[in-house]
Structure 1
Amino acid sequence: MASFSLPNIASDSGFWGPSDASASTVLSDDLQKIPYAPFLKTDRIGRIADWNAGSQPDERAAGAAAARPRAIRAPSIPAPATGVNMFTYFHGDDESSFSLVENSRASAARRPLTSATRGRGAAAARPAAVSRGDAASSAGRGRARAVPQAAQRGARRGGWRDWERTQRKAREASITVGPEWQKVAEMDFVRLGKLRLDVEEPETISTYGTLYAYDRTYDRVSVRFEKPLQPRDRVHYNPTTSEDPVIQQFAAGEQSAQVFATDSIIALLMCSTRSVYPWDIVITKTEEGKIFFDKRANGPFDFVTVNENANEPPIELTDPANPNPENSTRAQINTPSALSLEATFVNENFGFQVVDERKSFKFGEPNPFQTPGDEGQLASCGYRYRRFNLSTDEEDPVELIVRAELNAYVPGASANKPPSQYITIRTLNEFDSRAPGAGGAPDWRLRLDTSRGAVVATEMKNNSFKLARFAVQSSLAGADNMKLGYISRANPLDPYRHVILGTSWFKPRELALQMAYNVSNGWGIVRTIIDVVRNAPAGRFVLLKDPNRPVVRLYSVPWDFEQIEEEEEEEEVAAEATEEQE
């Protein structure tokens, strides 16, 4: 019968195992030939002893040496590159029945789900495994189903053939930045959205102009009883701030007021974080420290935008995403510039039409912009000059004088009584629900009477900036209500004929709350821009919205920068005409 006797092991107080001096005497010759391979705890050890390998004594000895107490199970930390290691892990033939399940969270989120991974057929077709493999595969399948669903809740669903969509053309700035312009400040919308300033109720300094009464018959307009929009020739004055004679008198006589602007400019600044299209404002600081916010002549400031905040806004003819730029009538009349011109025309004429010119109310002073030689009938418009206190410190007062506009009034119970309400009149227009850039808006003729809330909610999403600006302008003017008209084309392919499909009443502050607009944030933006200009030296500045990024920049410009720009445009037109003749 075979027997095996253990050799005598000498003990040592310093470490485990025989000492170097007694190793040659205690160990036999065959044990002294065992090779030793040092390894780290991070090394992946596949097997403690491989009894199926070759019968070489060195390999069997190496397997026996691997049975030391230090050869514990390998941790999950990747092993560093330590060169050749006899304990390196290799897949063996006996593991061919196992299926590898990748249970990492990141890879599970990237791996798409298929019908094979969801049904029971895949589980039945999977080879049988031990209990540990089943548990791992079940956990992997559970994560593969749960992670993409969680990711889909926060991400936008991909559209049909998104990868084939043409890259849209970058927008151009509303004004070209000249080489002599110097950047003073740059403010992103994230920073502007965190500003806050509480402002008290303003003081009305003076009133000018004449208002007409609102015609109540337009409250009964509906889709079934629509009315055509009739263009009317009326004169509506809307000069810029520095050309207003009343503001010039305030600037010369008022010592406390330092900032002057119009309601449209202040509303634009207060709602600037919602804007997408480019815009610009000219700011002038005098030697006395007076600051004037002006609109640029022949700029896009007074034009009303359409579907500016939609996920897929209207497309320009020169945009690569436009499939048929020249041959499609729908593409030509539904560009952003054409829609903006159409919306501005509709907004003005609706305000002229829905008032009763037989009933009027005159403010304390007549229209300050009409001269004796002007011809044409004045539109219904009242001007309120109001003082806002933007001070945060009593020792450093900041007061703003704003010229605000009212469009009509609601008469009282009798003709002798004063107006019961002052109102502003605005419009929303539908151009073509099937055209690119419609923003998923429903057909108003089908949904306006039955689901007006859905129509308004869609317009709040697609025209968030425009509606917020309407609400802020009405609030600055002290209007009690805002009349909103729903105007649509008589024919989707005819941008010149329109019909009135309905009207709605909105209180300016309630409309702002419905759109989650914070008035305190708007005043914080205005005060921040004023502080930047106050800290700069006297001169002219341009506040420019970046056409493709949520950023506004303030530039210091020459006094005659508008004249330089006009001369450059004339030279370009002359050069193009010369090239065509040649």
Structure 2
Amino acid sequence: MAPKEARATTKSLRRHKEEDPWGQADVALERTLIKVRRGERFVSLFNSGPSPKGVGDAGALQLAQALRERRHQPDAEGLVSLQLRGNEAATDISNMADFAMPEVSVFVEGWGPPPNGKLDTPLGICDFVDHLDKFPVTRIGRICDFTASGQRFQAERGKGKGKDGKGKGKGNFQQVLQPGKDEEGFVTVDNRAIPGKSAGRGKSGGKSKGKGKGLQVNYQEGILGQKQKPFFQANQPQGKGGKGGKKGGAMRRGQPSYKEWSVQTRPEWTLMRELMLTSLSKLQIDSKAVKHEDVMWCGKLHTYSKSFDRLTTKAEKPMRRFEDLNFFNVTASDDPLLPELLQADPEVSVIATDHVLACLVAATRSVYSWDIIVSKVSNKLIFDKRDGGALDFLSVNETAQDPPNADDKDSMNGPLKLGQEASCINQNFSQMVLDPEEEAVDMEHPNPFEDEDEGSVASGAYRYRKITLPGNSKGATDFEQNPVSLIVRTEVNCKMPGATDSYMSVKALNEYDPKPNYNWRLHLESQRGACLATELKNNAFKLGRWTAQALLAGCDTMKVGYVSRQHPKDPWSHAVLGTQTYATDGFAEQIGLTRNNMYAVIRNVVDLVMSWEDGKYLLLKDPTKSMLRIHEIPWDTFAEEDDDEDDGEAEDDQELDEDGNAVPQRPA
């Protein structure tokens, strides 16, 4: 519509305004026409109306025509038909709904929503937020941990390439936003317990011995899982228990998590104390007043082979695997001798193993979570570990600046697989360094876990020692002021050649991913001191445990081997690159571990638990901070795991055919 025609139409309408009985409606339509001409009329898209851009000259002409018709049709309803670029749409302007903006409540007195927690919003979002705490399963609203995912994305950002090294530009974001991959870079902090799968029952497999729930830790039966079944696999067959012991099977309770708590706390547990580990490092006791007494020697000892002292990186030696030997790590309450020694000597108040006490002594160096069970009955303490728990494995690069990614559970370089690999290496290395030409020396008692029907056991001696710790004259109770005696089962791997009373502890460090700037094959010969310093930084907790075990066992010498993969992608084949010999006391001083602090930490924990009532207590290492939490737990805690073993005893004793089916027994 031309501007002149529009102005003429407007003037004509004004002349007939007073004569027209519908003048007021005409004025409204007239104003609408003027706004349309100026482009000021906005019809909300939320009400399915046309936008201002769609109203043109054709729309203005239609409005003018409607005004003319309205003068001659008083009963018209005032409908205006708008033609929008060839599309016809009828809109009832008079009955068009308005779009009301929602009101937003503002809490001006502080941060966040009002104290009542409810806002007048059309979606009722805040009402839903109030009930989020009642749904612990949902991941909405949980705190996110972006540290692990950030490291992965930081590695993928280089040169604009994606994860596969081929995509460019925005390839990383596309991978994250793809269905099924959106949670790979988003890690939630979930406090729920991960249900463990119970192991299948079989006639062969892990052979556990000893009274109670014995544990055979033969890592040779499978580690990383293509050549053999994974050691943690749910259907790992289990063997018969020996000497009254319950059924074995090392890792029947699922995979330990290095990133989360080793044990999920339960509501019925009572938190007794929170110990800051930094305070334990300040404790001191006069180690000269500590008395040691050998109670019993069990097993047999071989002599160390001097040929391993001549190994170099250019003359490395492939590592042998001793799959036909049985290795054991039985907890104190399941040891066939420790409970008897506790009852026989009224002066003894505590029994434990060197594995458990060494972990407690080196707790200030740990990062991952672990747990120790302490049972108190009639002023007697028993320090135990859980079979298949974190203490049954060795960590790798736990305290390193760039530790293994805890999210790579199935990767051969993940913390779980590396822990199994390190444990297997130490078992093989402890048997490999023995001199086959020297005859073994039998101790006064046989190996307490040996059973002729179950095969040969690994060479080594168990040294049961009575350790008496002096009292504190300033103690608050009589127990703290008086000396306390412990019986500890320690392990001795071999004896020094040419000496009768000089014993040795044999351990091995392993390299899994050589770097150009840190490669044992390149730097071990020329920079052996630098390599050891790096390992002290990356594996402070593991080396602290080994040193404490050697001190408790009375070993004069520590032999540390350097073992590396023959190929970085093959976790099964290893080679010994060299060894180093250290005096135990000198090595302990080098890493900052003293006898005064070691015995003081043990005495402090014993005095603390002795001050409480009889019960069962759990010492739980916090994975997020340097803290040790002590909970009082019911007596039947973790008993359901043993009940699962008892339910399958009949199946274990039953013969199976090739397909795994039970063979019917012939009646007598």
**CA–CA separation in structure 2 for the residues paired with 1:220 and 1:517:** 29
| Amino acid in the other structure paired with 2:266 | G
**CA–CA separation in structure 2 for the residues paired with 1:188 and 1:562:** 26
Q: 1:290 aligns with which of 361, 377, 380?
A: 380
Matched, 1:279 2:359: no
Q: CA deviation at 1:393?
A: 4.4
**CA–CA separation in structure 2 for the residues paired with 1:441 and 1:548:** 31
Bigger Cα displacement from structure 2, 361-370 vs 504-513: 361-370
> What CA deviation, in whole Å up to 9, does each residue of 1:163-186 have, x standing for no partner?
999898762101111111111111
**CA–CA separation in structure 2 for the residues paired with 1:421 and 1:163:** 50
Q: Partner of 1:524: helix, strand, or coil? A: helix
Residue 336 of structure 2: aligned partner: 245
Residues 222 and 502 in structure 1, CA contact (< 8 A), matched pair in contact too: yes
Q: Structure 1 residues 272, 206: CA separation in 2 closer, same or farther (over 3 Å shift)?
A: same
**CA–CA separation in structure 1 for the residues paired with 2:319 and 2:364:** 33
Residue 346 of structure 1: aligned partner: 425
Written as runs of structure 1 = structure 2, the 5 A alignment for 1:303-452 is 303-317=393-407, 332-358=411-437, 359-371=439-451, 373-393=452-472, 396-412=482-498, 419=500, 421-434=502-515, 442-452=518-528
Bigger Cα displacement from structure 2, 225-234 vs 512-521: 512-521
Written as runs of structure 1 = structure 2, the 5 A alignment for 1:179-578 is 179-199=267-287, 200-232=290-322, 233-286=324-377, 288-317=378-407, 332-358=411-437, 359-371=439-451, 373-393=452-472, 396-412=482-498, 419=500, 421-434=502-515, 442-564=518-640
Q: Partner of 2:391: helix, strand, or coil? A: coil
Residue 66 of structure 1: aligned partner: none
Q: Partner of 1:339: helix, strand, or coil? A: helix
Residues 490 and 549 in structure 2, CA contact (< 8 A), matched pair in contact too: yes
**CA–CA separation in structure 2 for the residues paired with 1:262 and 1:167:** 41
Of structures 1 and 2, the one with the larger relative CO (CA 8 A, separation 6+) is 1
Q: Structure 1 residues 501, 531: CA separation in 2 closer, same or farther (over 3 Å shift)?
A: same
Q: Partner of 2:343: helix, strand, or coil? A: helix
Structure 1 segments unaligned to the other structure (5+ residues) = 1-158, 319-324, 326-330, 413-417, 435-439, 569-582
Residue 128 of structure 1: aligned partner: none
Q: CA deviation at 1:427?
A: 0.3
Bigger Cα displacement from structure 2, 360-369 vs 539-548: 360-369
Q: CA deviation at 1:236?
A: 2.4
**CA–CA separation in structure 2 for the residues paired with 1:404 and 1:567:** 29
> What CA deviation, in whole Å up to 9, does each residue of 1:472-514 have, x standing for no partner?
1111111121111100000001111101100110111111111
**CA–CA separation in structure 1 for the residues paired with 2:561 and 2:188:** 33
Q: Structure 1 residues 169, 405: CA separation in 2 closer, same or farther (over 3 Å shift)?
A: farther
Residues 411 and 420 in structure 1, CA contact (< 8 A), matched pair in contact too: no
Q: Structure 1 residues 290, 567: CA separation in 2 closer, same or farther (over 3 Å shift)?
A: closer
> What CA deviation, in whole Å up to 9, does each residue of 1:77-96 have, x standing for no partner?
xxxxxxxxxxxxxxxxxxxx
Residues 488 and 501 in structure 1, CA contact (< 8 A), matched pair in contact too: yes
Residues 226 and 502 in structure 1, CA contact (< 8 A), matched pair in contact too: yes
**CA–CA separation in structure 2 for the residues paired with 1:261 and 1:423:** 21
Residues 407 and 424 in structure 1, CA contact (< 8 A), matched pair in contact too: yes
Q: Structure 1 residues 163, 448: CA separation in 2 closer, same or farther (over 3 Å shift)?
A: closer
| Amino acid in the other structure paired with 1:336 | P
Bigger Cα displacement from structure 2, 441-450 vs 271-280: 441-450
> What CA deviation, in whole Å up to 9, does each residue of 1:361-381 have, x standing for no partner?
11221112223x433222111
**CA–CA separation in structure 1 for the residues paired with 2:554 and 2:573:** 33
| Amino acid in the other structure paired with 1:468 | G
| Amino acid in the other structure paired with 2:486 | L
> What CA deviation, in whole Å up to 9, does each residue of 1:337-386 have, x standing for no partner?
11111000101011111112442111221112223x43322211111111
> What CA deviation, in whole Å up to 9, does each residue of 1:260-296 have, x standing for no partner?
111111111111111111000111111x211000110
Q: Partner of 2:404: helix, strand, or coil? A: coil
Q: Structure 1 residues 365, 489: CA separation in 2 closer, same or farther (over 3 Å shift)?
A: same
| Amino acid in the other structure paired with 1:350 | F
TM-score, normalised via structure 2 length = 0.55
**CA–CA separation in structure 2 for the residues paired with 1:441 and 1:277:** 27
Q: Partner of 1:554: helix, strand, or coil? A: strand
**CA–CA separation in structure 2 for the residues paired with 1:184 and 1:357:** 52
| Amino acid in the other structure paired with 2:579 | T
Residues 293 and 465 in structure 2, CA contact (< 8 A), matched pair in contact too: yes
| Amino acid in the other structure paired with 2:404 | P
**CA–CA separation in structure 2 for the residues paired with 1:564 and 1:361:** 42
**CA–CA separation in structure 1 for the residues paired with 2:357 and 2:517:** 29
**CA–CA separation in structure 1 for the residues paired with 2:430 and 2:331:** 21
**CA–CA separation in structure 1 for the residues paired with 2:417 and 2:155:** 29
**CA–CA separation in structure 2 for the residues paired with 1:252 and 1:404:** 19
| Amino acid in the other structure paired with 1:398 | V
| Amino acid in the other structure paired with 1:425 | V
Residues 236 and 381 in structure 1, CA contact (< 8 A), matched pair in contact too: no
**CA–CA separation in structure 1 for the residues paired with 2:501 and 2:631:** 45
Written as runs of structure 1 = structure 2, the 5 A alignment for 1:145-156 is none
Residues 274 and 629 in structure 2, CA contact (< 8 A), matched pair in contact too: yes
Q: Partner of 1:426: helix, strand, or coil? A: strand
**CA–CA separation in structure 2 for the residues paired with 1:340 and 1:378:** 22
Q: Structure 1 residues 164, 367: CA separation in 2 closer, same or farther (over 3 Å shift)?
A: closer
Q: Partner of 2:337: helix, strand, or coil? A: helix
Q: Structure 1 residues 381, 556: CA separation in 2 closer, same or farther (over 3 Å shift)?
A: same
**CA–CA separation in structure 1 for the residues paired with 2:371 and 2:403:** 21
